[in-house]
Amino acid sequence: MDKPTPLAAGKKAPSFQFAEAGETYLLESLGRPCLLYFYPKDDTPGCTTEACAIRDTWSEFASAGLKVVGVSKDDERSHGKFRKKYGLPFPLIADTELELANAYGVYGEKKFMGKIYDGIHRMSFLIGADGLILKTYCKVKPDAHAGEVLTDLAALSN
């Protein structure tokens, strides 16, 4: 088991695609900044807190022109239930094969209640419209992350 090694700011963000409203989008085609956030599991306390905090500040994300995309190992069915249950206004990518988690360096050794196992770490990447990582968030606090990202985006835009 290895510790995660997340990509640093200044690196080119690995490409990804997601579906929304029947359309498929690529990172390269967004033409605007994006928050790609990784989380361990749908409908768990921390993951729900983080997703709902983004939902609750959605108008600020939209005003800032920031696209938000969540990623976990859960499948499309689980994501659909999670989005519907909490009214999440952003897409979720089912990374069941851990391709994105490995590409971004967020998969690795975790410890919980004395157990050591491999899993997706709660980390995020603020990606510029040019596809470069503007900021890497390695220690995400679910209830404060949305505000932190908005503050950072405003500072980076000035």
Q: How many CB atoms lie within 10 A of CB 84?
A: 9
Q: How far apart are CA 47 and CA 71, in angstroms?
A: 11
Establish whether 52 is a catalytic residue: no
Residue 134 phi/psi, 5° resolution? -85, -35
The C-alpha atoms of residue 37 and residue 61 are separated, in whole angstroms, by 14
CB 88 within 8 A of CB 135: no
> How many CB atoms are located within 10 Å of the residue 74 CB?
24
Residues belonging to the active site: 47
